[in-house]
C-alpha cells in the first residue's frame, strides 16, 4: 500500500474511494436493516390484522346466533310463555307461574334450558350471561366454565352484574315485544359475550402487546402485562392514526397498529416494541453486518490493487520524464505490458527515450548545422549583390560630376556597410528599420525629387528581435520592378502596428502591379519553399530567413494595392516573438 500512498493523487483517490465505499456500505447496511425491520413490523401488523379479523368473525357469529334465537323466541309460543313467567318474578314466582300456565298434554318449555342448549352451546360458548329486564330490575341466567347454570332474580338494573365494561365483555340488547301486539314492549334481553372467551382465541398468536379498547376508554389487555402496556395502548388510541411509531425512551420506539370495529363498539390495538424485536433478530442483523463488512473489504482490496498497479506505472512515467529532462538516456528494463493507458504510456515513453537518444546522436545536431549553414549562405548571397548595386549608384554620380552628392552617398554607404558586416545576426526591429532608412537615403541620391519614403511603425514593434537586413531586399524589389523613373512621385511606405494576438509590418509602394498569374506563381513558390533557380531570389531569401527564425508563428502575404503598386505584409504572432531568444539564434 505504501507504493501508491506516497503519491499525492493516489493517496487522495484512495481516501475518497474509502470514504465512498464506507458510506455506500453503511447506507446499504442501514437500508437492508431498515427493510428487514419494516418486514418484521409488517409481519406483526399482518398477525394483528389476522387476530382482529378472527375476533370480528367470532363476534359476528355470536350476533347472528342471538338474532336466530330471537326469531326462535317469536316462533315458539311456549317459549314466549316461559319467558313471560321468568320476566320480573322471583324463583318461586317463576316456578309457580310455569306450573299454572302448563298443560298436561304438552311438555313444559324451559327458557333457561333453551338458552343453554341453543345459544350457549351447553354453557361452553362465548355467551356467559343472559338477563331479562323490566324497567326497574332484571333476572339473570349465568353459565360458568364448566357449563353449570346459576340464576339471580330481581336484581336492580343498576347492579354491578349489569355494568357494561370491556373487562366483562360485549353486551347485545334486544327488545322483547308482545307477539300479539308488536308495539307493546314486554322487556329487554341483554346478552353478555365474555371478553375472556372471545380474546382467548387470539392469545396464542405471536402478539407482543395487544388490547381491546372500548369507546369509553376501558382497556382489556389481550397480550402483555403491566401498566406500561396499558399506557402504550392508551397513547396509541389517543394518537388518532391507524398505525405509526411511539417514542418509549431516548432512542427506543414502539410500533402500533389499530383496527376499529364497524359493527361493535371497540378498537383493537397491537403494539410491537422495536428494541426487543431487534434483540430477538440480532443474529440476522449480525449476518447482514458481516456480509456488508466483507463486501466493503473486498472492494477496498480491489481498489488498493488497481491503485498500486497504476501508481507503479505512473512512477515509471515520472522517472522517464525526469530522465528525458536531464538527458539521461541510459537503457532501463522495459515496462511490463498492460492493456490500459498507463501501461501503454510507460512503454511508449521507454521507446521514446531510446529513439530520442538515437535521433539526437544522428540527426538533430546535423540539422542544426545544416540550418546554420543555410542562414549564412543566404546572408552572404544578399550582401555582395547589394554592394555591387550601391557602387553602381556611386559610379553614376561620379559620371555626372556631382561631387557633393557623391560624398554623401559614400558616407552613407560606409555607415551602412559597417552595420552590415557587424557580427550580430539578430538585432531589434528598430535597428533593422535604421538599416532600411540608410538604404533609402542612398536611393534618394540616385532619384532626387522623384522618390519619397515614410515610416509609420508603433513603438511596440521596435524592440522585437529579428534577423538582420531583410527589409532592404523588399525595398529593392520596388526599385527593380515597380519604380517609374519618369514619374515625379514614387512612394514607399512602411507601416507597423500591434493587434491583440500578433504584430503586422507592411511595406507598400505606388509602383507597378504584379500580374495575377505571376502573383499566384510567386505565392505558390513561397508556400512550397521552392529553391529552384530563377528571379525573386531576394524575396525567397527573405521568406526563408524569417521562416527559419520565427517558425510557425511567421506569415507573409503579397498583394496588389487597389490604386497602384504592391503591398507585402509580414505577420508575427506574439507567441512566436515571445519564444524567440536572440542568444539561441546566433
> Per residue in 184-225, pLDDT tens?
888 999 999 998 888 887 877 778 888 999 888 889 988 877
pLDDT of amino acid 404? 62
Q: Which residues contact 163 (CB under 8 A, 6 or more apart)?
A: none
pLDDT of amino acid 376? 58
Least confident of 57-71, 334-348, 459-473, 476-490: 334-348
The full DSSP string for 315-338 is: HHHHHHHHHHHTT-----PPPPP-
Cβ count within 10 A of residue 331:
9
| Average predicted confidence (pLDDT) for the chain | 81
First to last CA, the chain: 52
Q: What is the mean pLDDT of residues 37-50?
A: 87
pLDDT digits (tens, 9 = 90+) for 269-302: 998 888 878 888 888 888 988 999 999 899 988 8
Predicted TM-score (pTM) of the model is 0.51
Cα distance between residue 135 and residue 155, in whole Å? 11
Least confident of 100-104, 314-318, 375-379: 375-379
- Assigned CATH for 425-585: 3.30.565.10
Q: For the chain, what are the domain ranges?
A: 207-280, 425-585
Cβ count within 10 A of residue 262:
6
pLDDT digits (tens, 9 = 90+) for 66-122: 999 889 888 888 888 888 888 888 888 888 887 776 665 566 778 888 888 887 776
DSSP one-letter code for 116: I
Cβ count within 10 A of residue 385:
15
Q: What is the mean pLDDT of residues 118-146?
A: 85
Amino acid at each position: 500500500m505504501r507504493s501508491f500512498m506516497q503519491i499525492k493523487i493516489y493517496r487522495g483517490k484512495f481516501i475518497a474511494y474509502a470514504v465512498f465505499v464506507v458510506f455506500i456500505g453503511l447506507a446499504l447496511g442501514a437500508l437492508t436493516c431498515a427493510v428487514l425491520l419494516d418486514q418484521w413490523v409488517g409481519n406483526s401488523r399482518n398477525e394483528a390484522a389476522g387476530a382482529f379479523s378472527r375476533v370480528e368473525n367470532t363476534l359476528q357469529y355470536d350476533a347472528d346466533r342471538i338474532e336466530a334465537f330471537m326469531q326462535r323466541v317469536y316462533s315458539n309460543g311456549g317459549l314466549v310463555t316461559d319467558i313471560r313467567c321468568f320476566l320480573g318474578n322471583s324463583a318461586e314466582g317463576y316456578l309457580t307461574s310455569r306450573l299454572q300456565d302448563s298443560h298436561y298434554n304438552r311438555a313444559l318449555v324451559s327458557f333457561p334450558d333453551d338458552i343453554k342448549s341453543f345459544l350457549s352451546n351447553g354453557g361452553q360458548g362465548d355467551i356467559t350471561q343472559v338477563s331479562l329486564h323490566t324497567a326497574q330490575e332484571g333476572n339473570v341466567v349465568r353459565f360458568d366454565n364448566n357449563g353449570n347454570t346459576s340464576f339471580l332474580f330481581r336484581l336492580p338494573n343498576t347492579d354491578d352484574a349489569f355494568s357494561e365494561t370491556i373487562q366483562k365483555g360485549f353486551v347485545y340488547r334486544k327488545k322483547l315485544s308482545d307477539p300479539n301486539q308488536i308495539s307493546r314492549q314486554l322487556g329487554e334481553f341483554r346478552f353478555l359475550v365474555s371478553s375472556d372467551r372471545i380474546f382467548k382465541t387470539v392469545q396464542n398468536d405471536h402478539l407482543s402487546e395487544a388490547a381491546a379498547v372500548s369507546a369509553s376508554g376501558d382497556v382489556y389487555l389481550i397480550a402483555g402485562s403491566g401498566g406500561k402496556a396499558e399506557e402504550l395502548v392508551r397513547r396509541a388510541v389517543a394518537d388518532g392514526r391507524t398505525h405509526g411509531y411511539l417514542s418509549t425512551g431516548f432512542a427506543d420506539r414502539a410500533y402500533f397498529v389499530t383496527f376499529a370495529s364497524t359493527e361493535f363498539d371497540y378498537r383493537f390495538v397491537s403494539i410491537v416494541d422495536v428494541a426487543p424485536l431487534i434483540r430477538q433478530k440480532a443474529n440476522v442483523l449480525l449476518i447482514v453486518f458481516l456480509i456488508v463488512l466483507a463486501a466493503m473489504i473486498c472492494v477496498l482490496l480491489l481498489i488498493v490493487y488497481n491503485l498500486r498497479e497504476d501508481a507503479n506505472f505512473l512512477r515509471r512515467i515520472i522517472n522517464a520524464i525526469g530522465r528525458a529532462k536531464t538527458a539521461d538516456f541510459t537503457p532501463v528494463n522495459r515496462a511490463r505490458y498492460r492493456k490500459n493507458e498507463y501501461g501503454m504510456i510507460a512503454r511508449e515513453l521507454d521507446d521514446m527515450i531510446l529513439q530520442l537518444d538515437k535521433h539526437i546522436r544522428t540527426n538533430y545536431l546535423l540539422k542544426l548545422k545544416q540550418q546554420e549553414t543555410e542562414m549564412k549562405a543566404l546572408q552572404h548571397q544578399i550582401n555582395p549583390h547589394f554592394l555591387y548595386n550601391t557602387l553602381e549608384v556611386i559610379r553614376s554620380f561620379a559620371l555626372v560630376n556631382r561631387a557633393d552628392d557623391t560624398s554623401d552617398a559614400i558616407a552613407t554607404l560606409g555607415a551602412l556597410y559597417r552595420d552590415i558586416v557587424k557580427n550580430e545576426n539578430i538585432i531589434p526591429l528598430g535597428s533593422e528599420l535604421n538599416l532600411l532608412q540608410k538604404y533609402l537615403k542612398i536611393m534618394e541620391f540616385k532619384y532626387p525629387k522623384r522618390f519619397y519614403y515614410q515610416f509609420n511603425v508603433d513603438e511596440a514593434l521596435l524592440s522585437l528581435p529579428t534577423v538582420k537586413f531583410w527589409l532592404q531586399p523588399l525595398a529593392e524589389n520596388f526599385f527593380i520592378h515597380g519604380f517609374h523613373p519618369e514619374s515625379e512621385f514614387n512612394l514607399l511606405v512602411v507601416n507597423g502596428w500591434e493587434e491583440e494576438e500578433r504584430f503586422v509590418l507592411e511595406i507598400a509602394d505606388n509602383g507597378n502591379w504584379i500580374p495575377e498569374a505571376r502573383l499566384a506563381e510567386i505565392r505558390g513558390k513561397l508556400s512550397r519553399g521552392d529553391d529552384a533557380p530563377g528571379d525573386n531570389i531576394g524575396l525567397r531569401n527573405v521568406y526563408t530567413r524569417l521562416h527559419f527564425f520565427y517558425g510557425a508563428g511567421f506569415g507573409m502575404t503579397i498583394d496588389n494595392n487597389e490604386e497602384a503598386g504592391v503591398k507585402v505584409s509580414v505577420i508575427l504572432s506574439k507567441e512566436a516573438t515571445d519564444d524567440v531568444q536572440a542568444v539561441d539564434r546566433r
